């Protein structure tokens, strides 16, 4: 496989955000122990991906049970 054919190990994604949101995110990053914009963006995208994965699973469960409430595991009270 040539260098041109290899998938990139990383990609750069960019977005313009309002200045106030940027200041708020910098404060949030301090609280969460994140250093630098790259860490902030990586964490935000990771959380977005996790939330989407959870929603996909919930949608699949709802589809499997035909919109009815999924049963609770044995031994779990309502």
Between CA 67 and CA 50 the distance in angstroms is: 23
The pair phi, psi for residue 56, each rounded to 5°, is -60, -45
Mean pLDDT, residues 51-68 taken together: 94
Mean pLDDT, residues 53-78 taken together: 91
Of residues 68 and 30, more confidence is placed in 30
pLDDT at 3 over 70: no
What rounded mean pLDDT belongs to the chain?
Answer: 92
Residue whose entry in the numeric block shows the structure tokens 């260098």: 3
Residue 65 is encoded by which pair of tokens? 């049970």
Determine contact, residues 43/32, Cβ cutoff 8 Å: yes
pLDDT tens per residue across span 16-35 = 999 999 999 999 999 999 99
């Amino acid at each position: 496989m040539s260098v041109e054919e290899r998938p990139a190990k990383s990609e750069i994604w960019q977005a313009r955000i309002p200045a106030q949101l940027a200041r708020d995110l910098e404060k949030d990053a301090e609280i969460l122990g994140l250093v630098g914009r790259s860490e902030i963006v990586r964490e935000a995208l990771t959380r977005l991906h996790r939330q989407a994965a959870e929603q996909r699973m919930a949608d699949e469960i709802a589809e499997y049970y035909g919109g009815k409430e999924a049963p609770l595991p044995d031994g779990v009270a309502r």
